[in-house]
Amino acid sequence: MAVQAARAWRRRLMKLLRERGLPRGRETLPAAAAGEGKEQLEPPRESLSSRMRSFWSSSRDEKQQRVRRLASRGRSGLVELWRRYGWVAIGTYASLYVVTLGSVFAVFHFDVVEPELIVGDPRVAVEKIIRFIQKQEEHVPGLAMVEPYLEVLRDRPVATDLALAWLTAKLTEPARMLLTIGLTPRLARLAGRVPPPEEQEPEERDKTRADW
């Protein structure tokens, strides 16, 4: 009776496996079950292309938030460079900014590249710059002195090209931050400006930084 009951149970089990389309056998069943459980536990990985599509399909506010997060990371990196390398980091960042601003101004002023290709309509870009300066007057009262000179940005081509170059340089800020983070340690080694060791006490580290 026990043998017949075992055979009947086995037939019912095989029938159930056939109905569900599961593999049969003593070895394949546990492996299939383990694989199925693994697929359920591990979520599918999102590819780079799908992440890029989700970024461009996201709303404008979400894009601005992501850009702000990247910018904040870059600023924190600059703060760390200033803490370790002092004026070498500031000089590197300022040099890259001056070179970028001067190069873009020369490209625009001598018609090597049309500003429309980068900033769109120059008149619209200049108006945005003027409105930006006017908004800052509420927080910085001294900027009210430049109000009479804002018309120069509209009337003189040189001032217009300089304003557009400044706007383009602002767009390159993330790239300049990365270049600053990469170049500062090398320039500091070439200049012999070895940063103070991290294991020193704060008082000793400040004294060492003041010496060099």
* pLDDT score, position 102: 92
Same domain, residue pair 179 and 96: yes
pLDDT per residue as tens, the chain (212 positions) = 566 766 777 777 777 767 666 554 444 444 444 444 444 444 455 554 555 556 555 555 665 566 566 556 656 667 777 788 888 888 888 999 999 999 988 988 887 877 777 667 777 777 777 777 777 666 666 666 667 667 777 777 787 788 888 888 888 888 888 888 888 888 888 877 666 555 444 554 555 455 44
Do residue 33 and residue 108 come from a single domain?
no
Nearest-angstrom CA–CA distance, 98 and 87: 16
Judge whether 73 lies within some domain.
no
Q: What are the phi and psi torsion angles at 167 (to 5°)?
A: -65, -40
pLDDT at 45: 52
One domain, residues 114 and 202:
yes
What pLDDT does residue 26 have? 46
- Residue 195 is predicted with a pLDDT of 66
Give pLDDT, residue 15. 76
- Residue 33 is predicted with a pLDDT of 46
The pTM for the full model equals: 0.50
pLDDT score at 164: 82
Same domain, 128 and 194: yes
Does a structural domain hold residue 54?
Answer: no
Q: Domain tally for the chain?
A: 2
- From the list 109, 152, 112, the residue with the least C-alpha distance to 129 is 152
What pLDDT sits at residue 100? 92
**How high is the pLDDT of residue 18?**
72
Nearest CA-CA partner of 162 in 106, 95, 91: 106
Domain-located, residue 72? no
Note the maximum CA span of the chain: 107
What's the alpha-carbon Rg for the chain, to the nearest Å?
Answer: 32
- Residues 114 and 11 both lie in one domain: no
Closest CA to 118 of 169, 174, 188, 49: 169
- Inside any domain, residue 22: yes
Burial zone of 155 (CB within 10 Å; 0-12 exposed, 13-18 middle, 19+ buried): exposed
Q: Which two tokens stand for residue 60?
A: 């404008």
Residue 61 lies in a domain: no
Residue range(s) defining the domain that contains residue 135? 86-211
Is 192 in the same domain as 95? yes
For 171, how many CA atoms within 13 A lie in the half-sphere containing its CB?
10
Instruction: Mark whether 18 and 95 lie in a shared domain.
Output: no
Residues 196 and 92 in one domain: yes
**Where do the H-state alpha helices sit in the chain?**
2-20, 28-41, 48-57, 60-85, 87-109, 116-119, 122-136, 151-155, 157-171, 173-190, 202-211
Contact at 8 Å (CB) between 188 and 85?
A: yes
Residues 9, 98, single domain; the answer is no
User: Structure tokens of 142?
Assistant: 């001294």
Decide if 51 is inside a domain.
no
